Structure 1
Amino acid sequence: MACGGAPDAQTAEELLGEAEGGALATRVVGYFPTWAGDVNAIQYDKLTHINYAFALPTAQGGITGVSSGDARLRSLVQAAHARGVKVLIAVGGWNDGNDSAFEQMAANAGARTTFVNNMVAFVNAAGLDGVDLDWEYPEPGASAQNFAALARELGAAMRSRGKLLTAAVVANGYYGDGIPTSSFADLDFLNIMAYDGGHPHSTYDYAVQSLNYWVGRGLPRSKAVLGVPFYGRSPSSYVAYSQLVAWDAQAPYKDNVGDVYYNGIATIQAKARLGLQQGGGVMIWELTQDTQGATSLLNAIAQVLQTSGGGTAYRLVNKLTGKCVDIDGPSGADGAVIHQWACHTGTSQQWVMEPTDSGYVRFVSRYSGKVLDVSEVSTADGARLHQWGWVGGANQQFRAVSLGNGFHRIEARHSGKVLDVANCWSSGDGTAVQQWVWSNNDCQQFRLEAL
C-alpha cells in the first residue's frame, strides 16, 4: 500500500503476473480464398495456420482450380513462413453442392492413389505444410467408407513427409456421421464449420453443441477446432462482416444489423475462449471478410488467446465464508445469478481476468464465456450480480484493490461499490453476491486464488 494512503488498485497485469504469455496459446486457422484479398494485408501475427481455398479434385484423381506454381500462392507461403505460420492447400469446398468428383475418385482405388500422388507433388512443389480435405459432404454408408480410405492413404502420405492432413467438417448431424470415427486417427485436426445452422446461423449455443457432438463421438478435444464466421446471414443473403461495419458503426458490438445475424466482438471472443478451453483452437471462414484495427474480429480472437495465457484462471474466495463466487445452475444463460458455493474444481467457479483500461478488468467465466455484471447497471446497495454477454459497460468492469492481507476488495467501475456476500453473516451455499458500499467487512474481501 502507498504510505498513508488508500490501498493500491492493482493492474490486471500485476495480478496475472508472469503466467500471462504474449504468444498465441493454441491454433488459429484462417481460410484465405483464391478469389479475393491481398496477401500483404493478412494479420499473420495472429494466425498459426492458413488454408488456401480451394483446389478441386477430378474424378480421375487430378487437381484443378489452382496450380502449385501459382504466383499468389507462392507469395502467401513466403510471407507466412517468414512469420512462422503454416500454409495448407484446401481441396474441395462447397462447389455449388457438387461433390461428385470426390465421390467417384474416393470410390476408385486407382484414382485415390493418383490423387494422393498428385497432392504430394503439389504440396512439395509449392512448399506447403499439408492438405485440408474439404469434402462437402460424404454421407453415412459407402461414401463414408470411401472417405475413410482416402483419409487413411492421404494421411499416411502426408505424415511420412512431416506434413499435416486436416479436414473441414459440418457442425453435427447426418452429414457429420459421414466422417467415420476411424478417420480421427488419420487427421491431425478437424475444422468444425459451426455456422450456417438455422437463423440466427451461428450462435454460441450452436458452437457448444458442435463441439459436444464431435467430442462425444470420440474426437480428442485437442483435434476439435471450432469454426467461427466472419460474415452474416439473413434469410436471403450472405454479408461480409466488413460490410456490416461499413453499414453500422455499432456492428462490432452486437450480433445483428436488421435481419442479418453474425458474430460481433463479444460473441467471437466468447467462442474463442470456448475453442481454447474446450477444444483445439479456432478456425475462421474467411479472412478477407474482416476489418483492420479495433473492430477486427481476428484481433479480438488474438486478444483472448494472449490475455488468457492459455487458460489461466482464478477462484474468488470469500474471507468470511471460505466459499467461492459461482454461477447458479451452473447456467450459460444471460442473467444467471452469481452466488457463493463451496469451492470445487468446476469451471463455474473459474474466472479469467482480461484487462480493459485504467486498471480495470472484466471477469470472464471459463464455464460460459460471459462476464460478471451488476444487474440493470444499478448503483444501489444490494444490486445483485449476474452473468451477461460482454457489451463493454462500466457495470461489467471491476478493479481489484489489494488490502495488504492477501485479500482484495473488488470495485465495480460504474458505482464504486464492492462485491459483497448478501446479509454479511450468511455462510450458506447459494447466498447471493451483490454490490454494497465498502465497509471493510470480511464478507467484502476476496482472495484471488490462481488455478
Structure 2
Amino acid sequence: MMMRRNIWCVILMAILMCSCKKSAKSEVKTNDDYKKPVAAASFRVVGYLREYNVVDGRAIQFDFSKITHLNIAFINPDAAGNFTTLDGLKELVTAAHAKNVKVLASIGGGLAPEYYTTLIATGSSREKLAASLASIADQYNLDGIDIDLEGHFVDDNYEAFVVAVKAALKPKGKLLTTAIATVYAAQYTNKALAQFDYINIMSYDKTGPWKPEKPGQHSPYSMAVDDLDYWSGTRGIAKERLSLGLPFYGYGFGSGVPEDMSFADIVKQYPGSENKDEVTVAAGGIMYYNGLPTIKSKTTLALQKAGGIMVWQLLQDGTGANSLLNIIDAEVKAAKK
C-alpha cells in the first residue's frame, strides 16, 4: 500500500512539474517576443499638414483614408499665450473625423517663436498656456495637442510645462504627443517623456543646407535603426509608443541644385528618381532624399520595432505609383493579413 502511494506521489509530482514548466514558459518573454511586430490594426500613420494649408483649403482636399492621425503645424500662440481663430480648422476636423482620423494641433516647430522660453518659464505662464491649449482642443473638437519644441526650448522648464499640459488635457480625454530629435536626447527627462501618449521620432535632418560642409543623405536607413534602438533600448520607451519619422522631401548639395525639394517635385523633374535615394543634376550637385524602396524598408522596420510611422509632410508626396504614402499604406495593410 505504501509503495503504491509513493508511486502515485511520484507520478503526481511529475505532472505538476511539467505543468509548472509549461506555465513558466508561457509567462517568460524571450528575445523573440520583443521582435514580434506591433499589431498592425493599432499601427499609427501620423501625418503633418501645414497650418496655412488649412486656411487656403488644400488640407481639406487631402485623402485621409491612408492615415490615422493628422497634426496641424504649427498653431502657435502670441507672445501673451493667446491663440487667434484659425479659419477652416473646424471644417477640416469634421472631414477628418468622418474618416476616423484623429486631429491634433501641433505647437512649436523648428522655427518656434522665441517667446516660448518666456511662456514656459514660470508656473503662472505655464498654467495659462496649458489651459489655453486645452481650450483650443475643445473649441475645435481636436483630439489632442502635439508639442514640437526643439533645441534650447527643451530647457529646465520643459518638464514642468509638459506635466502641466498633460494635467489640463487628461480630464478631457485628449491626447498629448510630441516630436523629438535624438540629437537633443540628453535634454529630455524621463518624467517629461512619460507624459506623452506617443512619441514621433524625427529620424531625418542629420545634415542639410545649414551644414554645406557635410553633404550626404540626411535620413539614411541606418539612422532609423539607431534612433529606434536608442529610444526603445537605451531609454526604455515601449515600442508601441514610438512612431518612426519619415521625410517626404530632400536636401541638395553642390552646384545647380536647390537647397530643398519636395518628393513630388523631385520625381516630376527627374524621371526615374523615385526608386533611388539621390539624383545628380547636370551642374554636378546632388539631391538626397528617401525614394520608394527606402520608405518601404523603413515602414517594415517600424512595423517590427515601433508602433507607427510619422510623415513630414503630407502635401510633399508624389501621386499614384510615385506616392510614398501609398507605399506605407500597402505595407501596413499587408501586415494586417
Q: Normalised by the shorter chain, which TM-score bucket? A: 0.7 to 0.9
Q: 2:225 matched to 1:233? A: no
Distance (Å, rounded) in 1 between the aligned partners of 2:191 and 2:330: 36
Residue type at the aligned position of 1:41: Q
Compared CA separation, residues 41 and 299, structure 1 to 2 (3 A): farther
3-state secondary structure, aligned to 2:236? coil
Give 1:218's aligned residue.
236
Residue type at the aligned position of 2:243: V
Give 1:113's aligned residue.
127
Give 1:92's aligned residue.
108
Residue type at the aligned position of 1:234: G
How many Å apart are 1:128 and its aligned residue?
0.4
- The 5 A counterparts of 1:18-417 are 25-36=42-53, 38-63=58-83, 67=84, 69-95=85-111, 100-138=114-152, 143-170=154-181, 172-173=182-183, 175-198=184-207, 199-215=216-232, 216-235=234-253, 237-258=259-280, 259-309=286-336
How many Å apart are 1:261 and its aligned residue?
0.8
3-state secondary structure, aligned to 1:303? helix
Q: Which has the higher helix share?
A: 2
How many Å apart are 1:57 and its aligned residue?
3.6
Paired-residue identity, %: 36
How many Å apart are 1:212 and its aligned residue?
1.5
Give TM-score scaled by structure 1 length.
0.59
How many Å apart are 1:226 and its aligned residue?
0.6
- Show CA shifts across 1:64-106 (max 9, x none): xxx4x433212210110000000000001122xx553221111
Instruction: Give the unaligned 5+ runs of structure 1.
Output: 1-22, 313-451
Paired positions, count: 278
Say if 1:242 and 1:291, in contact at 8 Å, map to a contact too.
yes
Give 1:425's aligned residue.
none
Distance (Å, rounded) in 2 between the aligned partners of 1:231 and 1:24: 28
The RMSD of aligned alpha carbons is 1.9
Residue type at the aligned position of 1:150: F
3-state secondary structure, aligned to 1:291? coil
Distance (Å, rounded) in 2 between the aligned partners of 1:133 and 1:176: 15
How many Å apart are 1:58 and its aligned residue?
4.1
Residue type at the aligned position of 2:333: Q
Distance (Å, rounded) in 2 between the aligned partners of 1:102 and 1:70: 20
Distance (Å, rounded) in 2 between the aligned partners of 1:307 and 1:124: 36
Q: Which has the higher strand share?
A: 1
How many Å apart are 1:191 and its aligned residue?
0.9
How many Å apart are 1:238 and its aligned residue?
1.1
3-state secondary structure, aligned to 1:78? helix
3-state secondary structure, aligned to 1:145? coil
How many Å apart are 1:24 and its aligned residue?
5.2
Say if 1:196 and 1:202, in contact at 8 Å, map to a contact too.
yes
How many Å apart are 1:138 and its aligned residue?
4.0
How many Å apart are 1:59 and its aligned residue?
4.5
Residue type at the aligned position of 1:120: A
How many Å apart are 1:49 and its aligned residue?
0.2
Distance (Å, rounded) in 1 between the aligned partners of 2:180 and 2:331: 25
Distance (Å, rounded) in 1 between the aligned partners of 2:259 and 2:245: 20
3-state secondary structure, aligned to 1:127? coil
Give TM-score scaled by structure 2 length.
0.78
Say if 1:169 and 1:192, in contact at 8 Å, map to a contact too.
yes
- Show CA shifts across 1:126-158 (max 9, x none): 11000000112246xxx5331110111101211
Instruction: Give the unaligned 5+ runs of structure 2.
Output: 1-39, 208-215, 281-285
- The 5 A counterparts of 1:426-441 are none
Say if 1:138 and 1:179, in contact at 8 Å, map to a contact too.
no
- Show CA shifts across 1:275-299 (max 9, x none): 1210111000000101221211011
Distance (Å, rounded) in 1 between the aligned partners of 2:206 and 2:224: 10
Say if 1:91 and 1:133, in contact at 8 Å, map to a contact too.
yes
Compared CA separation, residues 59 and 149, structure 1 to 2 (3 A): farther
Say if 1:189 and 1:224, in contact at 8 Å, map to a contact too.
yes
Say if 1:116 and 1:154, in contact at 8 Å, map to a contact too.
yes
Residue type at the aligned position of 1:274: L
* Structure with greater contact order relative to length (CA < 8 Å, sep ≥ 6): 2
Distance (Å, rounded) in 2 between the aligned partners of 1:25 and 1:250: 34
How many Å apart are 1:242 and its aligned residue?
0.3
Distance (Å, rounded) in 1 between the aligned partners of 2:60 and 2:178: 26
